[in-house]
């Protein structure tokens, strides 16, 4: 998976390869660093840009997971089956 396109932006392969949990941990770390305000301007801009890509990746991972989630239902004939989760 070389690049993943999401929300009009391209996700670098090294970010696209991250699990949701790893990407979220990196995003949280970047946010804490930016909130401290210790970074030079160029470093802060780079961190912000990376954070935006991590956020896009996390959102895409959540959408993928949501599409995979199914509800277990009891059909009228008493049989148990599944259906896609109702998101609304």
What are the pLDDT digits (tens) for 7-51? 446 899 999 999 999 999 999 999 999 999 999 999 999 999 999
Can you give the pLDDT at residue 6?
Answer: 41
Q: Is 63 exposed, middle or buried (0-12, 13-18, 19+ CB in 10 A)?
A: exposed
Q: Which residues pair with 4 in a beta bridge?
A: 11
The set of residues, in sequence order, having a beta carbon less than 8 Å from that of 52 and lying 6+ positions away, is 9
Can you give the pLDDT at residue 4?
Answer: 45
What pTM does this model have? 0.70
Can you give the pLDDT at residue 2?
Answer: 39
What are the pLDDT digits (tens) for 49-80? 999 999 999 999 998 887 777 667 777 888 88
Contact 36, 48 (CB under 8 A): no
């Amino acid at each position: 998976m070389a690049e993943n396109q999401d929300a009009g932006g391209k996700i670098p392969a090294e970010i696209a390869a991250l699990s949701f949990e790893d990407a979220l941990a990196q995003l949280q770390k970047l946010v804490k660093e930016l909130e401290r305000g210790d970074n030079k301007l160029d470093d802060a801009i780079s961190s912000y840009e990376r954070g935006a890509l991590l956020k896009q990746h996390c959102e895409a991972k959540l959408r993928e997971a949501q599409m995979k989630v199914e509800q277990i239902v009891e059909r009228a004939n008493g049989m148990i089956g599944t259906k896609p989760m109702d998101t609304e």
